[in-house]
Structure 1
Amino acid sequence: MSYLGWPRFHFAGTFVADPSTVNNDPVHYDNDSFDRAKSWVQGGDGWWNPDGRHSFRFENVTVRSAIGEDGQAVDGDPVVGLRFVTRGITPAKLVDLDPDQQLVSQIFGMQVALSDGAGNLLVQGAMRPVAFTDIWRRGVTGSGDEAACAAYQSTLETTEWADQQTSQFLGRLRDAAGGRPLAIKFNVDGYSMSATRPDGTPNPRFTRGRVVGTVGIAGDGEPRHTVVGRQFGSVGPPPGDNSPGFRPPGGVNYFPGVVDTGARKVRLDLGNALPAATAGGPPQDIGELVLGCHAGDGTVTEVAPIDYRAAGWYETTAGIVDLPAGRTLRDDEVARLEAGRLLLVARRDGQQRTVIEEAPVHVRADEFVARLDPGEEWVVRLHVSERGRPLPGARVSLFHLRTRDPEASAQFPTQGLTFPESVTSDAHGIAQVTLRAGDPGNLRFFYFGDRRQHVDGQVYRVGYRIEGGTQPNPSNVLSVLVWNRFVPDEPPTWFGSMRDVFVQYGNLYPWMTKFGPQLDLALYEAIAAQRESVIEVLNRPVADSRYMPVSRDLSGSRRTAMLTWLTSPGPDGKPLLGEQRESDALEVAPAPPPETIRRGGPDPALGGKTAAAQRLGLDLP
Structure 2
Amino acid sequence: MSYLNVPRLTFSGDFISDVSTVNNDPQHYNNNTFKKSFQEFGTGSNNGWWNPEGGATFGFQDCHVKQITDEEGNTSSDPLLDGIIGQIVCGAEGRNSGKMVDLDPQQQMVSQLWGVTFRILTATNELLLEGKIEPTGFRDLQMRQQTGARVNGQPLGGTWTSVLEDVVWGDLAYQSLFLMSLKSKTQENRLSINLNGFGYYYAHATDGRFSLGRILGSLGPWFSGEPKLFPPARRLYGIVSNNNNVFFAASNFILDKENARLSIDFGSSFPVSDSIGTIALNTELFLAVSKTAIGPPPGATPYMVSPDGVLFVGKLEYQNGTGWLNSTSGIVDFNNLSHEVLSALKDNQLLLLGASSKADQFVVIAREAVDGIVLRADEFVQRLDTNQTNEISFYASQYGLPLPNHAIYITLEPPTPMTPKLQNTPPICDVPGNNYPADGLTFDAVITTDVNGVGVLKLTGNSIDSPRGYLDGQIYTLDYDLAGVNTDPASGSVMPQNFIAIHLRDYFEIPETPVWADIQPTMVQFANLYPIMSKFFIDFSDPNALIAKKELLIFAFDRDIKDPIYMPVTRDLSETKRLTILKWLRNPIIEGEAIVVTQQKAKGEINLIQEDTVTETVPLTNNQLRLRDAVRAKNGADFNIPEITNLFEF
Give the TM-score normalised by structure 2. 0.81
1:160-189 per-residue CA deviation (whole Å, 9 max, x = no partner) reads: 112234433223333333663111101000
Look up the equivalent residue of 1:532 and give its one-letter code: E
Q: Is 1:263 equivalent to 2:269 in the alignment? A: no
CA separation of 1:355 and 1:433: change in aligned 2, threshold 3 A: same
- Conserved? CA contact 1:613–1:620, under 8 Å: no
- Is the contact made by 2:266 and 2:330 (CA closer than 8 Å) also made in structure 1? yes
Counterpart selection for 2:89 from 84, 87, 101: 84
Residue 353 (1) aligns with residue 363 (2): yes
- 1:127 CA drift (Å): 0.9
Q: Is the 8 A contact 1:414 1:440 kept in 2?
A: no
SS in 2 for 1:484: coil
Q: What SS class does the counterpart of residue 346 from structure 2 fall into?
A: helix
- Render the CA deviation track for 1:297-323: whole Å, top value 9, x for unaligned: 883211111112354211111111111
Q: 2: distance between equivalents of 1:178 and 1:380?
A: 22
Where structure 2 has 5 or more consecutive residues not aligned to the other structure, the ranges are: 295-308, 420-431, 600-626, 640-650
Instruction: State yes or no: 1:465 paired with 2:481.
Output: yes
Alpha-carbon deviations, 1:453-480, whole Å to 9, x = none?
2111111111111223333332331100
* 1:158 shift after superposition: 0.9
Check conservation: 2:436, 2:474, Cα contact below 8 A. Answer: no
The alignment partner of 2:86 has SS state of coil
**Partners in 1 of 2:140 and 2:569 — Cα distance?**
25
CA distance in 2, matches of 1:106, 1:524: 31
Cα offset, 1:487, TM superposition: 3.5
Paired residues of 1:139 and 1:280 also in contact (CA < 8 A): no
* Post-superposition offset of 1:61: 0.4
Q: In structure 2, which of residues 131, 135, 140 is the aligned counterpart of residue 129 of structure 1?
A: 135
The reply to whether residue 232 of structure 1 matches residue 240 of structure 2 is no
CA distance 1:210–1:410, change in 2 (3 Å): closer
**SS in structure 1 at match of 2:195:** strand
Q: TM-score, normalised by structure 1?
A: 0.85
Give the residue type in structure 2 aligned to 1:381.
S
Q: CA deviation at 1:406?
A: 11
- 1:504 maps to which of 525, 535, 548: 525
- Aligned match of 2:457 in 433, 449, 453? 433
Residue 96 of structure 2: SS of its match in structure 1? Answer: coil
1:136, distance to aligned residue in structure 2 (A): 1.4
- Residue 145 (structure 2) aligned to one of 126, 136, 139: 139
1:359-438 to 2 correspondences below 5 Å: 359=369, 360-402=372-414, 412-438=436-462
- Pairwise CA RMSD: 2.9
Higher RCO (CA-CA < 8 Å; seq separation 6+): 1
Partner Cα distance (1:353, 1:100) in 2: 39
Identity of aligned residues (%): 30
Give the one of 282, 285, 301 matched to 2:311: 301
Among 484, 488, 494, which residue is 2:516 paired with?
Answer: 494
> Which residue of the other structure, out of 288, 313, 334, is the alignment partner of 1:323?
334
Say whether the 8 Å CA contact 2:142–2:158 is kept in structure 1: yes
Q: Give the structure 2 partner of residue 291 of structure 1.
A: 287
* Corresponding position: 1:206 with 2:210: yes
* Aligned residue in 1 for 2:271: 275
How far is 1:333 from its partner?
2.3
Distance 1:3 1:383 in 2: 17
| CA distance in structure 2 between the aligned counterparts of 1:115 and 1:582, rounded to whole angstroms | 52
Whole-Å separation in 2 of the counterparts to 1:17 and 1:411:
30
CA distance in 1, matches of 2:630, 2:105: 8
Match of 2:502 in 1: 480
CA distance in 2, matches of 1:470, 1:280: 37
Distance 1:15 1:215, change over 3 A: same
- Mapped to 2, the partners of 1:265 and 1:333 lie a distance apart of 10
Specify the alignment match of 2:200 in structure 1: 191
Q: Return 5+ residue gaps in structure 1 as ranges.
A: 198-202, 238-244, 445-452, 570-574, 587-608
Asked if the contact 1:101–1:612 (Cα under 8 Å) also holds between the matched residues in 2, the reply is no
Distance apart, 1:485 and its partner CA: 0.8
Q: Distance in 1 between matches of 2:265 and 2:192?
A: 14
Number of aligned positions between the proteins: 566
Q: Aligned pair 1:41/2:59, yes or no?
A: no
Counterpart of 1:153 in structure 2 is 161
The question of whether the paired residues in 1 share the 8 Å contact of 2:442 and 2:459 is answered with: yes
Aligned residue identity for 2:84: V
Q: Which residue identity lines up with residue 213 of structure 1 in the other structure?
A: G
Q: Is the 8 A contact 1:153 1:186 kept in 2?
A: yes
Per the alignment, residue 645 of structure 2 pairs with: none
Q: What amino acid is the match of 1:2?
A: S
1:57 deviation in Å?
0.5
Contact 1:270–1:320 (CA<8 Å) still a contact in 2? yes
Residue 40 of structure 2 aligns with an amino acid whose one-letter code is V
Letter in 2 for 1:41: E
Q: What is the alpha-carbon distance in structure 2 between the residues aligned to residue 585 and residue 220 of structure 1? A: 50
Deviations 1:112-144 (A, max 9, x none): 111111111111111111111111121123249
